[in-house]
Amino acid sequence: MIQGTAINFAQFTNNIYLNLSDKMSNTTYKPLLAFTSNQTGKTKYLVANTMDLTNVNRYIKLTWIQNHLNTEVPAGGLIHLGTTDYPFDFYNVTIYQNTSNTNLDPDGLTVIFTGLMQMTASGSGYESPVYTEYTTNDADTDSIYITN
C-alpha cells in the first residue's frame, strides 16, 4: 500500500517506490497518476513531479507534492488533498505510462500499476484522518462509528 501524508502549513513531498521497469516500454516521460477517493469517487490526475531511475533494476521512485494551499499544478505533480471532495481517506491509485510530461488525459494510455493509497494528515490544524477511536461517551451525538 502506498502512504500519502499531508502536513499542515507546508508542502510535503511524497515518494512512491515501485518496481515498474518491466511494465514501462519507455522511461522518457514521467507517468500519469490517478488518485480516486474511495469515499467520494472523485479522481485527481497528476503527472509525477519527478521520476528517479537511479535504481531502475529494483524500483522507480516517483514523487508528488501535497500542497496545503488550494494552489494546484497537476502537470507538475502538485495537488491538494484533504478537502470535502478529496478527503483524508483511502484512494485507488492507477499509474499510466504517459505520452508527454504534461498530459493529464488517461485515454489511450497503458496502465502500469493499480493499488491502494492511504492519505493521512500530520500536524496541528488538520482534523484527524479517516477514523477515530470509539468511546463510551453517550453525550457525543455528532460522531458515527463503523463497527464489524
Q: What is the domain range of residue 103?
A: 2-122
Distance (Å, whole) CA 136 – CA 47: 45
In a domain, 130, yes or no: no
User: Which grid cell is 38?
Assistant: 474511495
- Interval 112-127: pLDDT, tens: 999 999 998 876 555 5
Distance (Å, whole) CA 83 – CA 70: 9
pTM of the model: 0.83
Number of domains in the chain: 1
SS3 state of residue 60 = strand
Residues linked to residue 34 through DSSP beta bridges, in sequence order: 45, 94
Q: Which regions of the chain are under pLDDT 70? A: 123-148
**Residue 105's CATH number:** 2.60.40
Closest CA to 93 of 37, 48, 52, 53: 37
